[in-house]
């Protein structure tokens, strides 16, 4: 290595071959300075960037001067883990692992040179699902050398499939603790570095994101690779409903009865008649411009950057409630399919006319305790996220139960009936089940259950589980219930580390129907306490029924009936729900562990 005056001169660059860049076969090698490390030989091949320390002195002199190389320093980053490469201004390169005297002796006082930075990530050692930003800055005396590295790495990055280039971003400024804007400002540089164009809309009123998504033209929607929500589960639900409501053509869901009503079909041509429980079933036949934008859509994805009160969807799809992790999984173009539940309210009150009203839920719909908590919490919005704890305590102390009838599809298969049979076979099987918690098939990254491709029915939409309907039968549950819950996913959050249903999957085509029958205060408290413990068994109680089903109907016996649909109030006396397997795609990879 040659040195002239105070200038640091590193070795020459050796590009192989000299022909035009070929991402499959090219190798590029240079001797550069790596910031905070020292002089390295940097090598690039088709799938990784690696570097090896160049010893500045022989071992005896190195030991004498006190040089010690940190073996924990990274020596490689895969191309698939790089999201941006930037050419920096002429500036300093720091060699922090050399003593100051050695630094001056070897490199002189002037460490300024041309630089470029490789932006990637590493996984947290304590939380593998959390991604941490990583930067590697390399320096060289020759600007053209740095520019060559930047150009060739960027050319190679363009070959990475599935990364978004244009996104529509909605920011909820008052979501959670009111930190929606600051959360977006913290992650926005990641998108700009990755050269992802973003159109940002900071919402100013409730329902604005719904209105934008429901009215956006197919032409404009086709210009985006996806939509990102900076907020909580409720805000994402608003965007999801705005997207699906005018575009999804849904088939007739299964019903407990084949009876139809000509009166209802005349009055509401988009629905079939009432079933035995009085609920009617919706059929979308929209002929509007939305047909130009097909649903489901493989290339169009949704992203969520957590800034809400619970952020359960992010916890289940990325494994970490971390804005940086979510932003990185978006720019890297990660993909998971997500089941979506279609919830149809047929009557608001017992005396209401049949007026179908459709909502879509990505995580959870709940009645009784859950509906009361969301209603009570609206009185205390000024408290922020703590309002849910306060409202939950107030509702628990009231201990109200409700008379209702639920009918659900009991699918005849070993897999889907395991939990239903457990509720019928008594405590012996409960104890056996709880002793084999480790055998649960937990949804993780590259989940084999979710990898199965969703079925597409002839109706033009993604069918819930059409092959199972002919083998299914309806089962009714009637009585007084403290709560009725339908979980699409596990609903993990910071207060419930395993979620409501630990072994729920992101895309298996099933809802988890949880019926909590009337019981004592102490019993219900024990059930709720189990939800807060990792590895516990909150569903193994006599008063708890857990049914894995693709669809169910609900009829209340009371005058008022309030549901909580993904954190939003939904008044419904009569209601039906069905799940569409893998209906939408998310920018996420699934939990690591």
Which is nearest to 32 in space by CA: 48, 52, 58? Answer: 52
What is the rounded CA–CA span in Å between residue 309 and residue 230?
A: 12
C-alpha radius of gyration, the chain, whole number: 28
Residue 44 region, left (φ>0) first, then alpha (ψ -120 to 50), else beta?
Answer: beta
> Is residue 511 within 8 Å of residue 519, measured between CB atoms?
no
What is the rounded CA–CA span in Å between residue 117 and residue 585?
A: 32
> Is residue 485 within 8 Å of residue 365, measured between CB atoms?
yes
From the DSSP assignment, how many helices (H) and strands (E) are in the chain? 16, 27
Task: Provide DSSP, 400-438.
Answer: --EEEEEEEEEE-SHHHHHHHHHHHH-HHHHHHHHTTGG
Neighbours of 473 (CB within 10 A): 10
Give the CA distances from residue 283 to residues 252, 268, 472, 578, in Å, rounded to whole numbers and listed in that order. Answer: 5, 10, 21, 12
What is the rounded CA–CA span in Å between residue 501 and residue 527?
A: 13
What is the rounded CA–CA span in Å between residue 254 and residue 275?
A: 10
Backbone angles phi, psi at 300, to 5 degrees: -85, 125
Contacts of 487 (CB under 8 A, 6+ apart): 363, 364, 499, 500, 501, 504, 511, 512, 514
Report the catalytic residues.
Answer: 233
What is the rounded CA–CA span in Å between residue 91 and residue 95?
A: 13
SS3 category, 360 = strand
SS3 category, 392 = helix
């Amino acid at each position: 290595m040659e040195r002239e005056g105070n200038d640091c001169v590193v070795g020459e660059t050796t590009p192989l071959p000299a022909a035009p860049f070929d991402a499959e076969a090219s190798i590029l090698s240079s001797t550069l300075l790596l910031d905070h490390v020292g002089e390295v030989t940097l090598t690039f091949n088709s799938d990784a960037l690696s570097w090896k320390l160049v010893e500045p002195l022989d071992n005896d002199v190195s030991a004498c001067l006190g040089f010690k190389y940190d073996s924990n320093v990274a020596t490689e980053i895969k191309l698939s883990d790089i999201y941006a490469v930037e050419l920096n201004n002429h500036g300093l390169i720091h060699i922090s692992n050399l003593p100051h005297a050695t630094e001056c002796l070897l490199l002189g006082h002037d460490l300024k040179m041309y630089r470029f930075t490789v932006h990637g990530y590493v996984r947290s050692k304590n939380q593998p699902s959390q991604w941490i930003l990583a930067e590697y800055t390399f320096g060289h005396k020759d600007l053209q050398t740095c520019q060559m590295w930047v150009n060739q790495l960027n050319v190679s990055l363009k070959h990475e499939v599935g990364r978004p280039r244009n996104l529509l971003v909605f920011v909820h400024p008052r979501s959670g603790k009111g930190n929606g804007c600051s959360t977006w400002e913290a992650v926005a540089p990641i998108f700009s570095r990755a050269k992802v164009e973003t159109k940002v809309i900071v919402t100013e009123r409730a329902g604005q994101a719904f209105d934008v998504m429901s009215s956006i033209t197919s032409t404009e929607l086709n210009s985006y690779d996806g939509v990102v929500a900076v907020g909580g589960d409720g805000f994402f639900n608003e965007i999801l409903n705005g997207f699906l409501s005018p575009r999804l053509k849904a088939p007739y869901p299964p019903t407990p009865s084949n009876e139809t009503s000509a009166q209802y079909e005349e009055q509401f041509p988009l629905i079939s008649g009432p079933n035995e429980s009085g609920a009617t079933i919706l059929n979308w036949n929209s002929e509007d411009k939305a047909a130009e934008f097909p649903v489901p859509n493989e290339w169009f994805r949704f992203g969520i950057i957590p800034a809400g009160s619970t952020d359960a969807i992010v916890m289940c799809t990325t494994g970490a409630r971390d804005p940086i992790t979510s932003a990185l999984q978006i720019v890297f173009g990660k993909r998971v399919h997500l089941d979506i539940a279609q919830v149809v309210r047929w009557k608001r009150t017992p005396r209401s006319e049949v007026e179908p009203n459709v909502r879509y839920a990505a995580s959870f719909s709940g009645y009784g305790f859950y509906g009361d908590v969301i209603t009570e919490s609206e009185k205390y919005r000024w408290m922020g996220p703590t309002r849910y704890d306060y409202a939950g305590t107030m509702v628990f102390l009231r201990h109200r139960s409700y008379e209702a009838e639920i009918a659900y599809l009991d699918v005849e298969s070993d897999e889907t009936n395991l939990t239903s049979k457990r509720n019928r076979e008594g405590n012996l099987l409960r104890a056996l089940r709880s002793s084999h918690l480790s055998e649960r098939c937990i949804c993780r990254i590259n989940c084999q259950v979710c990898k199965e491709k969703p079925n597409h029915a002839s109706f033009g939409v993604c069918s819930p589980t059409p092959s199972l309907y002919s083998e299914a039968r309806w089962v009714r549950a009637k009585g007084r219930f403290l709560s009725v819950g339908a979980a699409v996913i596990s609903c993990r959050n910071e207060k419930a580390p395993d979620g409501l249903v630990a072994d729920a999957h992101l895309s298996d085509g099933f809802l988890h129907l949880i019926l909590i029958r009337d019981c004592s205060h102490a019993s219900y408290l024990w059930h709720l306490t189990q939800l807060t413990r990792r590895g516990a068994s909150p569903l193994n109680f006599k008063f708890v029924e857990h049914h894995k089903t693709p669809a169910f109907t609900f009829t209340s016996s009371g005058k008022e009936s309030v549901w909580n649909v993904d954190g939003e109030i939904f008044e419904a006396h009569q209601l039906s729900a069905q799940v569409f397997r893998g209906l939408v795609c998310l920018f996420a990879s699934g939990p690591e562990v």
